[in-house]
Amino acid sequence: MITDDKIKRINELYKKAKSQGLTEQEQSEQKRLRQEYVQAVRGSLKNRLESIILVDEKGQELGPITKGNKFIN
C-alpha cells in the first residue's frame, strides 16, 4: 500500500534529483518507491475495472469486464 508519506518521499527525491542529484542509495530508494506506486495504481485500476458489469442494449447483464470475457476484444 502506498501511503501519503511514501508519495511525499517520492516527490522529495524528484525535486532533489532535479536540483542537485541523488546518491546511489537515493536512486535505488526512488526506483523502489516508484515501482511500489505503479503497482498500487495498477492494482486499484484492476479492481475498479473488475467491479464493472457489462450490460447489453436490452439491459441484460453480460458479466464482469475480464481479460477472458468473450465480449471484450
- Is the pLDDT higher at 50 or at 17? 17
User: Is a pLDDT exceeding 80 seen at residue 72?
Assistant: no
**For 15-37, how does the pLDDT look when each residue is reduced to its tens digit (9 = 90+)?**
999 999 999 999 999 999 999 99
Q: What are the phi and psi torsion angles at 17 (to 5°)? A: -60, -40
Domain ranges of the chain: 4-64
pTM above 0.85, yes or no: no
Packing angle between helix 4-19 and helix 24-50, nearest 10 degrees?
140
CATH number of 4-64: 1.10.287.540
